[in-house]
Structure 1
Amino acid sequence: MSLKPSEDVEMPTSPPPRPLYMQVATAIKDELLAGIHPVGAVLPSEGELAKRFSVSRHTVRESLRRLREERLVASKQGAGTVVLVPPSVAPEIQQVMSIGGLLAFANDTRLGIQHISMLTLDDELVARTGLGVAEEWLVVTGFRYSSEGGSPCCCTEYYINRNYASVGRILPRHQGAIFPLLEDMFGLSVVEVEQQISACLASGEMAAKLCVDAGTAALEVRRTYKTVESEVVQVTINTHPASRFQHAMTMRRVKA
């Protein structure tokens, strides 16, 4: 796929301010996803949280309301705010996987951007991304490099919801994961990441850039980032040479 840079993306002069309650909710959510507060644990009281974050109790209540909407916590009479099993998990089996792990990977690598442009998806891209036909998305392509430099570790494609395409002007100067930047700029909250791993072959420019022979076995990792309203914020496709990719997953039985 060949893309040409576009100058047609309208960008705001400054990002909209992020509500304070969203900042607090995001901080608590990151701790929940990292396992700092295990399932069944009771969060600190509103007063303790207000003191910790230097905000009002009203702000804390709004933050907890947002977390309840995301089904990450529940308020129980006489018991406080209790941490729940993450949604979309079977009652007996919990997949232990933190979105923070995706942040760690992005923060440990550097994205070298080749192209940024608005693109209307054709049938081929619809099949690859799982998005809708004839929809327009901001497409960012490039390669990720390890912190030590050298050959890239994977080929990367980002498909960003056109509602948030203004992020495009910031990306050439941005390091790390993109979805936290979208959260900060637009007051979003990514609560679910769907992952699909498929076998493929590295060919053409991709094989040459990844320093492997054309036709080398590769793994294509597609991740779809969604908000609590199930809006797709972005889709990323990372293509790794098979010899440089390892996926580990831990599952734990949780009592009902």
Structure 2
Amino acid sequence: MDHKSDISARPPGPDGVARKAAGQPLYLRVAATLKEEILGGLHPVGAQLPTEHELCARFAVSRFTIREALRQLRDDGLIMSRQGAGTVVVPAAAPDLYVLHAMSINDLLTFTTNTRFEIEMMKMVTLDDPLAARLDLQAGDEWLAIRGFRHAEGMEAPVCWTEYYINREFAAVGRLLPRHAGPIFPLIEDLFALSIGEVQQEVTAVLITAEQAARYQVDEGTAALEVRRIYTAADGRIVQVTVNIHPAARFRLSMTMRRVKP
């Protein structure tokens, strides 16, 4: 029996998908199995994946689950759906492309957990008018500013330039940051017994500055994406504002939106 026949002969249903991700939603487990097959060469570049109907039968899952799994593979840059041509395997994305999948506040933990933040400056600053307008905060207020580059394993150039602005009520967290490797907002939640209830996100097109260009290893004026996030506590206080600037060719932000019934 050849390798393809062996894969196809797996028992259908949840037992036929990647076992190592048993705690994940079913569509992610189906996507993981198909991703392993694509990267392993079972479905080479240019080949068509089985139809949705065939995948439903193989895994004994609904068409919705298969469509969500295929969406995940498209977000990962592994497949492309073409009208009249089905779903086709495409060359994998370049290794220096950083993809953030965002469906909830918890997904933001993944972005920082898998990277290293190199602090270049940390001090209290008084917001002048231009900075306050950029952050959508009140001019004249004091905030703890932390700035530096974020790095991902296996990538030579930085993932992004990052600026953190921490409400002065929580500025004491700064003492822990030189030895802290993970995201900052869960640390604030733990230290001050509060909960982040909302994150407002805004993406703007900007240009790489001369100062950033050398570190990013790109030309000055290269297109970039500025992602600003405002973290608000359950009591309405703004706890943290984060600004990440990514060279556009190296970053993709993937968000999933679902219809909410009235």
Task: Specify which structure has the bigger relative contact order, considering alpha-carbon pairs within 8 angstroms and separated by 6 or more residues.
Answer: 1
Which residue matches 2:123?
117
Which residue matches 2:255?
249
Counterpart Cα distance in 2 of 1:230 and 1:255: 26
CA apart distance, 1:210: 1.2
Alignment of 1:89-238 (within 5 A): 97-238=103-244
% identical aligned pairs: 54
Counterpart Cα distance in 2 of 1:203 and 1:251: 33
Structure 2 unpaired stretches of 5+: 1-23, 26-101
TM, length-normalised to structure 1: 0.61
Counterpart Cα distance in 2 of 1:218 and 1:212: 11
Counterpart Cα distance in 1 of 2:209 and 2:163: 16
The residue type equivalent to 2:133 in the other structure is A
CA apart distance, 1:150: 2.1
Runs of 4+ in 1 over 6 A off after TM superposition: none
CA apart distance, 1:148: 2.6
C-alpha distance after superposition, 1:111-154 (max 9, x if no partner): 00000000000111011111101000000000000023521010
Counterpart Cα distance in 2 of 1:131 and 1:208: 30
Counterpart Cα distance in 1 of 2:144 and 2:131: 13
Larger Rg: 2
Structure 1 unpaired stretches of 5+: 1-33, 36-95
The residue type equivalent to 1:238 in the other structure is N
CA apart distance, 1:170: 0.8
C-alpha distance after superposition, 1:210-256 (max 9, x if no partner): 11100000010000000111100000000000001111122222334
The residue type equivalent to 1:147 in the other structure is E
CA apart distance, 1:202: 0.2
Counterpart Cα distance in 2 of 1:183 and 1:229: 13
Aligned-pair Cα RMSD in Å: 1.8
Counterpart Cα distance in 2 of 1:178 and 1:113: 13
C-alpha distance after superposition, 1:159-216 (max 9, x if no partner): 0000111111110110111000000111010010000000000012111111110000
Count of residues in Structure 1 that have an aligned counterpart in Structure 2: 164
Q: Secondary structure at the match of 1:167?
A: helix
